[in-house]
Structure 1
Amino acid sequence: MDIHINDELIMKKPHPCGNNRFLVLRVGMDFKIRCMQCGREVMVPRKKVEHNIRKVYRDNEEIEKS
């Protein structure tokens, strides 16, 4: 899956604060993502993130999942 830094991810499961929008801060074997509501940063394994993505936005345009 083609994910870049500063992409906005809409996830299937929400963060405990209730928001399901995250900003990508780091890409590699793990993703570092920031909750867009509360600002909490989390390191998550790549496989888990890719499995839970609903939509990807880059520069306010939806990107096709591959």
Structure 2
Amino acid sequence: MDEIRLQDVVQMRKTHPCGSDQWTVIRIGADIKIKCLGCGRIVMMERADFVRRRKKVLTQGPVPEAETLRDISQRQ
């Protein structure tokens, strides 16, 4: 299973009713929230459904920076 990152642009297997098949990932967790690049519609689905319905990753989002406990304590 590929890594899912925020701001990934993915192509889904089925086209959206607006005609676009490209979506951007806007939330990651047990569920994945994606936004249609054609009309802006936001859809939330389970991670397993997302992986099954995704065709390919067109553009991968930035690598998240690791945050350490020291970084968190310095902010306070």
TM bracket, shorter-chain basis: 0.7 to 0.9
Secondary structure of the structure 2 residue equivalent to 1:16? coil
Aligned structure 1 segments of 4 or more residues deviating by more than 6 angstroms: none
- Pair 1:38 & 2:36 matched: no
More strand by share: 1
**Gaps spanning 5+ residues in structure 2: where?**
62-76
Secondary structure of the structure 2 residue equivalent to 1:5? coil
Q: Alpha carbon RMSD of aligned pairs, Å?
A: 1.1
Secondary structure of the structure 2 residue equivalent to 1:49? helix
- Structure 2 distance, partners of 1:16, 1:45, is 21
- Structure 2 distance, partners of 1:27, 1:58, is 14
Match of 2:20 in 1: 19
Secondary structure of the structure 2 residue equivalent to 1:25? strand
- Structure 2 distance, partners of 1:7, 1:54, is 13
Secondary structure of the structure 1 residue equivalent to 2:56? strand
Secondary structure of the structure 2 residue equivalent to 1:28? coil
Q: Sequence identity of aligned pairs in percent?
A: 39
- Pair 1:49 & 2:13 matched: no
- Structure 2 distance, partners of 1:44, 1:10, is 15
How far does residue 34 in structure 1 lie from its aligned partner after superposition? Answer: 0.2
With normalisation by structure 1, the TM-score equals 0.82
With normalisation by structure 2, the TM-score equals 0.72
Secondary structure of the structure 1 residue equivalent to 2:49? helix
